[in-house]
């Protein structure tokens, strides 16, 4: 019998303050709904990161948590071995930043070395980016899909030549206000939107699974679940568009303080 497909949420207690654990739940559910045996593993610092996972997830968190996560992941080595084996990594916000070459922390913008998995660099931006974000993601077949989420980050990220943007911003800040959002390099995807992201964006969830499994998944067998998810998605996109004015009023909290 095949081993269950392992979805690994990495360091929930450090990088889990924005509910990004939900990304792991969604990936696991979407496999199980299709009759594919799947297991959700949450690994905490001090425990070995399994290197036989299919998809790894990093979430958002505070500066100090980012420093600890980098230190632990480098010492552990399991995530690097898994990626060498062909696993997929989806990293959100603080998780995205630590995947880069470097990022800054604290009031004095101390520069910290990242995991070096993405050719990106993060430095404190002029204003904190907070609010609904709507982006357009180009899928591997050339079609595009909207991504909705909520961004909340002080760091601004710029891409080097080895990384390409994950999506184009329609509403919000994204990487650094240059119209791009997130980064892709091989099987590592970094992106700012929380939400959590994958319940709102099932096409992206399936893309991660298809990358990891090397096979097309097709639609969910249960049409009622698909219809509910479509409706949630329709509502989130409408809210993002509707709240554009409100979001622009509140996005630049720094200016009002």
Range in contact with ligand GLN (rule: CB under 6 A) among 30-38, 90-98, 206-214, 216-224: 90-98
Report the residue number, 18 or 137, with the smaller CB distance to ligand GLN: 18
**Bridge partner residues of 40 (DSSP):** 7
* Catalytic option among 93, 99, 176, 207: 93
Q: Is 132 in the site for ligand GLN (CB under 6 A)?
A: no
Range in contact with ligand GLN (rule: CB under 6 A) among 30-38, 91-99, 132-140, 170-178: 91-99
Rounded-to-integer distance, Cα 195 and Cα 193, Å: 7
Helix (H) or strand (E) holding 10: strand 5-10
In the annotation, is 207 catalytic? no
Task: State the helix-helix crossing angle for 202-213 and 21-32, rounded to 10 degrees.
Answer: 70
Q: Min. distance of Cβ 108 from ligand GLN in angstroms?
A: 14
Q: Is 149 in the site for ligand GLN (CB under 6 A)?
A: no
CA pseudo-torsion sign 25, 119, 183, 187: negative
- DSSP structure string for 91-114: EETHHHHHHSSEEEETTTTEEEE-
- Binds ligand GLN (CB under 6 A): choice among 22, 45, 61, 195: 61
The full length of the chain comes to 257
CB 156 within 8 A of CB 123: yes
Structure tokens that stand for 224 in this block: 């009622």
**Residue 234 labeled ligand binder:** no
* Catalytic option among 21, 99, 176, 194: 194
Task: Give start and end residues of each alpha helix (H) in 17-123.
Answer: 21-32, 63-76, 78-84, 94-99
* Interface positions, 97-126, toward ligand GLN (CB under 6 A): 97
- Binds ligand GLN (CB under 6 A): choice among 9, 26, 27, 94: 94
Report the residue number, 28 or 122, with the smaller CB distance to ligand GLN: 122
Q: Which amino acids are annotated catalytic?
A: 93, 194
Interface residues with ligand GLN (CB under 6 A) are: 18, 60-63, 93-94, 97, 152-155
């Amino acid at each position: 019998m095949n081993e269950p497909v392992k979805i690994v949420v990495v360091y929930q207690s450090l990088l889990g303050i924005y509910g990004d654990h939900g990304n792991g739940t969604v990936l696991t559910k979407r496999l199980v709904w299709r009759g594919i045996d799947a297991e959700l593993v949450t690994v905490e610092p001090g425990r070995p990161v399994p290197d036989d996972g299919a998809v790894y997830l990093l979430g958002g968190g505070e500066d100090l948590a980012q420093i600890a996560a980098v230190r632990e992941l480098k010492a552990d080595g399991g995530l690097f071995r898994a990626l060498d084996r062909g696993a997929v990594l989806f990293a959100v916000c603080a998780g995205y930043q630590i995947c880069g070459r470097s990022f800054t922390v604290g009031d004095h913008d101390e520069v910290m070395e990242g995991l070096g998995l993405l050719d990106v660099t993060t430095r404190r931006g002029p204003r904190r980016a907070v609010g609904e974000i709507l982006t357009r993601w180009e899928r591997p077949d050339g079609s595009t899909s909207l991504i909705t989420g909520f961004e909340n980050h002080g760091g601004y990220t710029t891409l080097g030549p080895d990384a390409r943007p994950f999506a184009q911003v329609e509403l919000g800040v994204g990487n650094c206000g240059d119209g791009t959002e997130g980064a892709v390099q091989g099987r590592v995807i970094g992106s700012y939107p929380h939400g959590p992201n994958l319940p709102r964006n099932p096409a992206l969830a399936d893309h991660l699974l298809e990358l990891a499994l090397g096979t097309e998944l097709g639609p969910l067998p249960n049409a009622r679940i698909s219809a509910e998810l479509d409706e949630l998605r329709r509502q989130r996109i409408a809210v993002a568009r509707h709240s554009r004015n409100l979001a622009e009023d509140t996005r630049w909290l720094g200016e009002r303080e």
